[in-house]
Amino acid sequence: MESLTETTARLVVRNPRFIALVRRRARVRWGLTALTILAFFGFVLMIVFARPLLATKVGGGLAPLGIYLATGMLLFVVLVTGVYVQRAASLFGRMNDELVEEIGL
């Protein structure tokens, strides 16, 4: 396959299917990025400013809230990456296939 000419690119860029794909993906991509940044730096700032809270015992065991939250962060990372990969494979994959079919490249 030859590399895309600028003319073809300009056509694809105006294609409604392409615009929809880029928009949908951007929303998921930047939304999840913001969520990850908020979660991590929120946790970091909690460590700076809310130490006593993190030291509170929860659930009757020895482990304080901080340890649960730290473990929760690990699971959160797996969860958000999983959500993105799933969305990308199902929705974006389908939108991409339809686009490629329509423009016939």
Partner 1 sequence: MSAARTSLLAAALAPAAGLARAADGTSPHAAGNSAIAIGMFLAFVAASLVITWRSSHRTKSAADFYAAGGGIKPLQNGFAIAGDFLSAAAFLGITALVYSTGFDGMLYSIGFLVGWPIVLFLISERLRNLGLYTFSDVTSFRLDRTQVRVFSAIGSLTVVAFYLIAQMVGAGKVVQLLFGVDYTVAVLVVGVLTVLYVTVGGMQATTWVQITKAGLLLTGGTLLGFSVLWKFGFSVDALLAAAVQVHPKGAAILQPGGLFSDPVSAISLGLALMFGTAGLPHILMRFYTVRDAQGARKSVFYAGCFVAYFCLLIPLIGFGAIALLMNDPSYFTGATASKVTGLIGGPNMAAIHLAGAMGGPLFFGFIAAVAFATILAVVAGLTLAAASAVSHDLYAQVIARGRTSERTELAVSKFAAVAIGIVSALLAMLFENQNIAFMVGLALAVAASCNFPVLVTSLYWRGMTTRGALAGGGLGLASSVVLVGLSKTVWVAVFHFKAAIFPYENPAIVSMPLAFLGIWLFSVLDSSPRAAAERNAFDAQLVRAETGLGRPAAAVAAH
**Shortest distance, position 85 Cβ to partner 1, whole Å:** 4
**Shortest distance, position 72 Cβ to partner 1, whole Å:** 10
**Shortest distance, position 8 Cβ to partner 1, whole Å:** 8
d(Cα 2, Cα 5) in Å, to the nearest integer? 8
Structural tokens at position 99: 């686009």
Does residue 98 belong to the site contacting partner 1 (CB under 8 A)?
Answer: no
Structural tokens at position 101: 């079919």
Of residues 20, 38, 58, 100, which one binds partner 1 by CB under 8 A? Answer: 100
Does residue 68 belong to the site contacting partner 1 (CB under 8 A)?
Answer: no
DSSP per residue, 28-62: HHHHHHHHHHHHHHHHHHHHHH-HHHHT-B-TTSS
Does residue 6 belong to the site contacting partner 1 (CB under 8 A)?
Answer: yes
